Amino acid sequence: MPGYQEVLAAYERERPLYVELVGHTVVALQRAINTAGLHTLPVTGRTKESRSFAIKACVGCRYDRPLEQITDKAGVRVTVVYQRDLHTIVEIVKRTFTVLSIERKLDALDYDRNGYLGTHIQARLTAEQIAATRTELDGLQFEVQVRTRSPKARGQKCLTPSSTGRLPTCLSSSSDASTV
């Protein structure tokens, strides 16, 4: 297992490629969403900071080859306004990139729990995208997080049906609350 300084130096050498990868990913995904005519918050991206990567790699001795095993070096986030658009965005991601895996966080919740309902998609650029950019980006992974706006912005109790079995007004499609 490599030490902290060794991991830090190695990741600092490859980090600029991930910065570039995030840039290409954000542009491609925003373009695909705009073409589909969906309304989302702006697509955002981030590259894991070097120090954060080195700490993750070394704490707990979980990684023998951290540069290969840690997959959250590059991330892109799409925030949809409506839950119904989550599936559409996932389909857009599948058409736009090479998808390696999809994890729906909803599937991890017990039936009686509220929580994070986003979807995480592990992906790579397509061969066409790599040909249009740099071959050094070939094989680099990124994660796309697709989520709705935070339930905390609306108030957590807004997610729970009232004792009358009717949806709270904030979730109903009209001022007339719908029955659950």
What is the chain's length? Answer: 180
- What's the pLDDT tens digit per position in 38-86? 989 999 999 999 999 999 999 887 898 999 999 999 999 999 988 889 9
Q: Three-state DSSP class for 100? A: strand
Three-point CA angle 114, 117, 122, nearest 5°: 150
Mean pLDDT of the chain: 82
Total domains, the chain: 2
8 and 95 in a single domain? The answer is yes
148 pLDDT band, cuts 50/70/90, is confident
Strands across the sheet containing 98-104: 44-47, 74-80, 141-148, 119-124, 98-104
User: Domain range holding 123?
Assistant: 4-149
CA 145 to chain centre: 1
Beta strands 141-148 and 119-124, pairing class: antiparallel
63 and 82 in a single domain? The answer is yes
Q: What is the mean pLDDT of residues 106-135?
A: 76
178 and 131 in a single domain? The answer is no
121 and 176 in a single domain? The answer is no
89 and 131 in a single domain? The answer is yes
94 and 135 in a single domain? The answer is yes
- The verdict on pTM exceeding 0.85 is no
110 and 176 in a single domain? The answer is no
102 and 178 in a single domain? The answer is no
Q: What is the CATH number of the domain that holds 24?
A: 3.30.460.10
Distances (CA, A) of 161 to 62, 157, 167, 177: 42, 8, 5, 10
pLDDT greater at residue 157 or residue 125 = 125
- What's the pLDDT tens digit per position in 57-67? 998 878 989 99
Residue 146 has pLDDT above 60, yes or no: yes
Distance CA 173, CA 46 (A): 35
Three-point CA angle 105, 107, 110, nearest 5°: 105
Lowest mean pLDDT among 126-130, 146-150, 172-176: 172-176
163 and 140 in a single domain? The answer is no
45 and 90 in a single domain? The answer is yes
34 and 108 in a single domain? The answer is yes
134 and 164 in a single domain? The answer is no
